[in-house]
Amino acid sequence: MTKKGSSAFFIEGKRSDNLHINDCPFSEESLKKDSNNTEKEQEVTYEPSGLTIMDMKGGQFSRGLKLPSNENETTTITEHDGNPSEESEKGPVKTVPPKQSENLPTKPRNKHLKDIESFVSHYEENPDYIIDEGFLGQSLPIHRYFRSIKENHVPKRERDRIPIYYGNGYVRFSEKGYYSFFFSDGVSIDSNWYQPHFFVSREFIDYFFPFVKNYCKKNGGTINIYIQSRFWLGKTKNGKSVLRFQNRGEKLTPFIYFTERM
């Protein structure tokens, strides 16, 4: 740009010279830093530490099942390819040529459980599976993080830690286009009797839990229901108390999971 006119134009320069300022990510200095960081990343190899960490944010899992978007995505947040629960501390595991890895220092890599799917799978396979570094820094069997739906309650604090509540129940399909899930066990709150239930979209259930449709067709049998959400007492238009879960609709889907009863 010059002072002669108000319009801007470019002057062809030497393409062999890097004329980017130092703060620019394409400058020689920045490119050297990136190159040095890459070399440093290859100076360490990772191996499993044997520890499994529960990874939550705000008392709930940070990941969950998610339907593909309208852009024809074929993956979900839980990354079903391979083991969804194994992750390095900082992104994917860094690899190095086999000849060099024998002489490189090793760094422990923890296994992180970030979604209800991984938690339920480990729980059903082995209820005594050990979770390390819980919210108080202790190691506990995984069954300690599960509670019967009867133990759910209306929270005194909105952000308290939420366990995974479970129970057997049944499902019905509504003419309005959604599935209704009912726990077989009733719950008594403030001397009133409720049957916990919630609604889930047809698209979500048919995509991730196709066996549910068969239960609806047979109109019989119960399934295992897992949910990470507190109860919430509301009022109908007529002033009648109704029991709901804190999360509803699409906000609930990351915190529910279903398995077939054997």
- What is the SS3 assignment for 144? helix
∠ CA(84), CA(86), CA(91), 5° rounding? 100
Please give the Cα distance from 115 to 112 (Å, whole number): 9
Give the tens place of pLDDT for each residue, 221-244.
789 999 999 998 888 888 888 889
In this predicted structure, what is the pLDDT of residue 218?
67
* Residue whose C-alpha is closest to residue 64's, from 45, 80, 83, 41: 80
Please give the Cα distance from 169 to 69 (Å, whole number): 30
Whether residue 87 has pLDDT greater than 50: no
Neighbours of 39 (CB within 10 A): 9
Residue 31: enclosing H or E segment and its boundaries? helix 28-41
* Residue whose C-alpha is closest to residue 230's, from 212, 243, 213, 246: 246
The two beta strands, 106-113 and 60-61, are: unpaired
In this predicted structure, what is the pLDDT of residue 205?
93
In this predicted structure, what is the pLDDT of residue 91?
43
Region 63-77 average pLDDT: 60
| Averaged confidence pLDDT in the chain | 77
Give the tens place of pLDDT for each residue, 112-156.
888 999 999 999 999 999 988 655 667 889 999 999 999 998 876
pLDDT-above-90 percentage for the chain: 29
In this predicted structure, what is the pLDDT of residue 158?
56
Asked if 147 and 164 touch (Cβ cutoff 8 Å), the reply is yes
Whether residue 110 has pLDDT greater than 80: yes
Quick check: pTM over 0.85? no
In this predicted structure, what is the pLDDT of residue 167?
95
Give the tens place of pLDDT for each residue, 177-223.
899 999 998 898 888 899 999 999 999 999 999 999 888 776 667 89
